[in-house]
Amino acid sequence: MKKQTIEPKRTATKRKPVKAKKLACVDLFCGCGGMSLGFTKAGFAVKAGFELWEPAISVYKANFNHPIIKQDLSDLDEAIPKIAEYKPDLIVGGPPCQDFSTAGHQDESLGRAVLSVYYSQIVSAIRPKYFVMENVANIQNSKAFKKVIGNFKAAGYGLTLRILDAAYCGVPQTRKRMFVIGALGAKDDFLGTRLDKGLAKQPMTIHDYLGDKLGTEYYFRVPTNYTRRGVFSIYEPSMTIRAVDRPIPSGYKGNANDSAPLHMARCLTPKERSYIQTFPESFKFDGSKTHLQTMIGNAVPVNLARYVGKALMWYIKTTQAGDSHARR
Ligand SMILES: C[S@@+](CC[C@H](N)C(=O)[O-])C[C@H]1O[C@@H](n2cnc3c(N)ncnc32)[C@H](O)[C@@H]1O
């Protein structure tokens, strides 16, 4: 008789999946939080926002659980140690272009984009593994932008530069913005193909995104001059949501290119404009109408930030580089 060997029973031990630690992110010039929300949705752990303007701070506080620090980011000596405390793997930020009268102490030769230079100095001092900077598209023509790029290169970052139109990134709005994305030690344009490939074939219309939620097919937006139309249809992408919006002026007599007669249109409320910036309905906006228009118009659309964040997350995962922030 053949001897039977008895195999020991294999009990399947269930291994708990190890949850990767989320990468820590701080958001500079965070406004009411468009970029913070987009990067959260892309899988980053936003640890803090930094901002100077009270009305935006108050809205940000009402919507996020992490701290928002009131800080003048042009005061580098004070700001850098406070930001470094959070040991960010990623710094994101949309420094504004602003007039000399409002931007504090600064080098006049750098013009309106001086806060972007401060942003590049903060990133270069802290050297997180990754950063993302958002700005208006024509910053690329400024003297300051050359300095910004020079600072990032000197700090050791490989850079991807792209002007993205939000309408191709899940936002029902034509809004072209410059993104500079950096990764320490990476090749230049490390994220370019990924960003280009993910773009939608068609721009997104308001109706694609919101359906009939607005309850109107036409809306009015004050044109920059009266040779342009003021009445728009929801079956096209919205024009760029600006930081100011005014009621229909009594002098508006209609325009040959209007999508419908004026009486069929109405202005959008700040909350409706926040939808076009892809803030969710649950996002709490409180404050004066003018302040809300400003912070909503200034925001990076949530879905545009998520689009860039997801591409960066893909890069981090595929290069297995997401362990911790840079060795200093
Ligand atoms: C373009 S908005 C940023 C919007 C934000 N990224 C978002 O997605 O909602 C720029 C912000 O920078 C703030 N800001 C301007 N000067 C500043 C300064 N010196 N220090 C800190 N924040 C400043 C403004 O109040 C404004 O909210």
The amino acid sitting at 260 is: A
Mean pLDDT within 262-284: 96
Nearest to 131 by CA among 143, 148, 111, 144: 148
Instruction: Give 156 or 99, the one with higher predicted confidence.
Output: 156
Q: What is the pLDDT of residues 287-297, one digit of tens each?
A: 999 999 999 99
How far apart are the C-alpha atoms of 218 and 187, rounded to whole Å? 46
Q: Tell me the domain boundaries of the chain.
A: 24-199+297-319
**Residue 49, SS3 per DSSP:** strand
Q: Which of 25, 30, 32, 97 is catalytic?
A: 97
In the prediction, which pLDDT does 224 show? 80
In the prediction, which pLDDT does 98 show? 63
Q: CB 252: neighbour CB atoms within 10 A?
A: 16
Is 97 annotated in the active site?
Answer: yes
Between the alpha carbon of residue 190 and those of residues 103, 180, 255, the distances in Å are: 33, 11, 45
Which of the listed CATH numbers 1.20.1300.10, 2.70.98.10, 1.10.1060.10, 3.40.50.150 matches domain 24-199+297-319? 3.40.50.150
Residue 284 has pLDDT above 90, yes or no: yes
The amino acid sitting at 104 is: G
Residue 177 has pLDDT above 70, yes or no: yes
Q: What is the pLDDT of residues 76-95, one digit of tens each?
A: 999 999 999 999 999 999 99
219: β partners: 232, 266
Residue 18 has pLDDT above 60, yes or no: no
In the prediction, which pLDDT does 113 show? 83
Mean pLDDT within 230-243: 95
Q: How many angstroms separate the alpha carbon of residue 19 from the centre of ligand 1?
A: 33
How far apart are the C-alpha atoms of 268 and 279, rounded to whole Å? 15
Between the alpha carbon of residue 10 and those of residues 6, 13, 35, 257, the distances in Å are: 12, 9, 50, 75
How far apart are the C-alpha atoms of 199 and 202, rounded to whole Å? 9
Closest residue (by CA) to atom 10 of ligand 1?
96
Q: What is the pLDDT of residues 84-142, one digit of tens each?
A: 999 999 999 999 976 444 444 445 566 678 899 999 999 999 999 999 999 999 898 88
Closest residue (by CA) to atom 2 of ligand 1?
298
Mean pLDDT within 230-256: 90
Check if the beta carbon of residue 68 is closer than 8 Å to that of residue 57. yes
Residue of 26, 27, 28, 29 to mutate, ligand 1, most atoms within 8 A of C-beta: 29
Mean pLDDT within 61-66: 98
Contacts of 307 (CB under 8 A, 6+ apart): 38, 164, 169, 170, 198
Nearest to 178 by CA among 147, 133, 141: 133
Mean pLDDT within 252-275: 93
How far apart are the C-alpha atoms of 72 and 69, rounded to whole Å? 10
How far apart are the C-alpha atoms of 188 and 254, rounded to whole Å? 48
Q: How many angstroms separate the alpha carbon of residue 95 from the centre of ligand 1?
A: 6
Residue 248, token pair as written in the block: 């229909």
pTM confidence score: 0.90
- Name every protein residue with a CB atom under 6 angstroms from any ligand 1 atom: 29-35, 51-53, 56, 72-74, 94, 96, 104, 115, 298-300
Mean of pLDDT over the chain: 90
Lowest mean pLDDT among 8-17, 59-68, 162-171: 8-17
Q: What is the pLDDT of residues 36-56, one digit of tens each?
A: 999 999 999 999 999 999 999
